Amino acid sequence: MSPVRSRRAENTGFACVHCGSAVPANSDGHYRNHCPVCLWSLHVDDLPGDRASTCRAPMAPIGLVEKSGKGWQVVHRCTACGHRQPNRLVREGEGPDDLDVVLSLPWL
């Protein structure tokens, strides 16, 4: 039997693997999965929120998409295996995403 992990236990602050910024936990009920300063992430999910990937390589922000019901999302591509993952932007709370960096990304 595998241990049960709570969303609270998974939603913690971290140091950005790309720029080194201290990244606070998200306070809106969603996982914080990228740096608000440079938008880089880590390949930790096979499916959104599962934290099941063994890759763990940095993921570069490559563009923006708009999803119905979720709004704008930044698309990350893994620098090791090429996996692509859209992630919600953090617009409010502690450490919102840098809008200038977000707007510098191309629309996909």
Summarised one tens digit per residue, pLDDT across range 64-96 is 999 988 899 999 999 999 999 999 898 888 889
User: Residue 35 phi/psi, 5° resolution?
Assistant: -75, 130
Mean residue pLDDT of the chain comes to 87
Pairing mode of beta strands 58-67, 71-78? antiparallel
What is the reported pTM?
0.84
Strand segments, DSSP code E, in the chain are: 14-15, 22-23, 41-42, 58-67, 71-78, 84-88
- Residue given tokens 């923006």 in the structure block: 64
Distance CA 55, CA 42 (A): 9
What pLDDT, on a 0 to 100 scale, did the predictor assign at position 43? 95
Which of the four pLDDT bands, split at 50, 70 and 90, describes residue 27? confident
Domain boundaries, the chain: 7-103
Asked if the model's pLDDT at residue 7 lies above 90, the reply is no
Question: Given pLDDT bands bounded at 50, 70 and 90, which one contains residue 3?
Answer: very low
End-to-end CA separation in angstroms for the chain: 41
